[in-house]
Chains A and B, each alone.
Chain A
Amino acid sequence: GIQVEQSPPDLILQEGANSTLRCNFSDSVNNLQWFHQNPWGQLINLFYIPSGTKQNGRLSATTVATERYSLLYISSSQTTDSGVYFCAVGENAGNMLTFGGGTRLMVKP
């Protein structure tokens, strides 16, 4: 099956800093999503981005499918951005997702 690796595994930021999270995957995908799992365990979808670039407020994501990686950018980080960020990929658009191990982000005030 597809392997998904995320880096860095852990990240500590000061409030206001910017960061880039990376997701590498081992095979071609037609489905790639980024999620934020908050400290209470709720998974919140951020982006559906099998290719290209999208932006939503302080967050943006870019996927270069031909090179099998995706990047999530967080600008002007806030303490509420803390949690675990997961990249998840699928070979087809509608079925199972394979999750990476996540990046654990802590934003300090």
Chain B
Amino acid sequence: DTGVSQNPRHKITKRGQNVTFRCDPISEHNRLYWYRQTLGQGPEFLTYFQNEAQLEKSRLLSDRFSAERPKGSFSTLEIQRTEQGDSAMYLCASSIQMALSTFGSGTRLTVV
């Protein structure tokens, strides 16, 4: 069990560019979640997968955000046409039912 892995750890991008983040969950976990955390706040839910199916999306998730989990393994989160307000820590978590969620170390995005 190597934990939840997220790449890259840091990303600096210019406004208007597209960015993609990757999350590798714990291998036996069938549930995968994306959260966003801004400075001084708790994480906010973005979206959730059970295996390869995306079951829930937050109303906070604009059309510029898309997430995939092909084959129910790793997941990617893409942000198109980034805006300065997208600057945040993007956290991935995984779990099995009725159990603790395990979080990755996050990807810190800075949009300049």
A binds B: yes
Closest to A86 in B: B42
Is the CB of B89 closer than 8 A to any CB of chain A? yes
Do the beta carbons of B33 and A96 come within 8 Å of each other? yes
Instruction: Looking at the assembled complex, report how far the CB atom of B103 sits from the nearest CB atom of chain A, in whole angstroms.
Output: 4
Q: Chain B contact residues (Cβ within 8 angstroms of A): what range?
A: 20 to 34
Do the beta carbons of A94 and B42 come within 8 Å of each other? no
> How many A residues have CB within 8 A of the partner chain?
21
Do the beta carbons of B100 and A48 come within 8 Å of each other? yes
A101 to B37 Cα, complex, angstroms = 11
Residue-by-residue, is B75-102 near A (CB-CB < 8 Å gives 1, otherwise 0)?
0000000000000010101010111111
Do the beta carbons of A45 and B102 come within 8 Å of each other? yes
Do the beta carbons of A42 and B105 come within 8 Å of each other? yes
Report chain B residues within 8 Å CB of A96: 33, 45, 48, 56, 58
Do the beta carbons of A101 and B56 come within 8 Å of each other? no
Residue-by-residue, is A79-109 near B (CB-CB < 8 Å gives 1, otherwise 0)?
0000000101000011111111110000000
A41 to B105 Cα, complex, angstroms = 7
Point out the residue from B41, B103, B106 that lies within 8 Å of A45, measured CB to CB: B103
A94 to B96 Cα, complex, angstroms = 7
Interface residues of A in 27-49 (CB under 8 A from B): 33, 35, 41-45, 47-48
Residue-by-residue, is B52-76 near A (CB-CB < 8 Å gives 1, otherwise 0)?
0001101000000000000000000
Do the beta carbons of A101 and B41 come within 8 Å of each other? yes
Instruction: Looking at the assembled complex, report how far the CB atom of A6 sits from the nearest CB atom of chain B, in whole angstroms.
Output: 9
Report chain B residues within 8 Å CB of A42: 103, 105-106
Query: What are 5 sample pairs from A and B whose C-beta atoms fall under 8 A apart?
Result: A48-B98, A95-B31, A95-B55, A97-B43, A99-B44
Interface residues of A (CB under 8 A from B): 33, 35, 41-45, 47-48, 86, 88, 93-102
Interface residues of B (CB under 8 A from A): 31, 33, 35, 41-45, 48, 50, 55-56, 58, 89, 91, 93, 95, 97-103, 105-106
